[in-house]
Amino acid sequence: MPPKNHPGADLLRAHSRRDFIRRAATGTVVVALGGGYYYLDDRLTREAKAMVRDDGRPRLPPGQRIITSLKPMGGIPGSPRPSEFRLRVAGDVKNPKTFDFAELLALPQTETTSDVHCVTGWSMFDARWKGVRLVDLAERVGVSGRARHVIFEAAHGYTANVPLDEALSPDVMLAYRHQGRPLAPTHGGPVRAVVPGLYFWKSAKWLTGIRFQARDEPGYWETRGYHNHADPWLEERYS
pTM, full prediction:
0.84
pLDDT of 33 reads: 45
Q: Do 139 and 53 belong together in one domain?
A: no
pLDDT of 38 reads: 57
Q: Do 25 and 141 belong together in one domain?
A: no
Q: Do 56 and 108 belong together in one domain?
A: no
24-66, pLDDT tens digit by residue?
444 444 444 444 455 677 888 999 999 999 999 999 999 999 9
Q: Which domain holds residue 18?
A: 9-66
Whether 170 is in a domain gets the answer: yes
Cis amide bond preceding 190, omega within 30: yes
Whether 164 is in a domain gets the answer: yes
- We report the CATH number of the domain holding residue 144 as 3.90.420.10
Number of domains in the chain: 2
Whether 28 is in a domain gets the answer: yes
pLDDT lower than 50: segments of the chain: 1-36
Per DSSP, helices labelled H in the chain are: 9-25, 42-48, 101-105, 134-141, 164-167
Q: Do 102 and 195 belong together in one domain?
A: yes
Q: How far is CA 222 from the centre of its chain?
A: 17
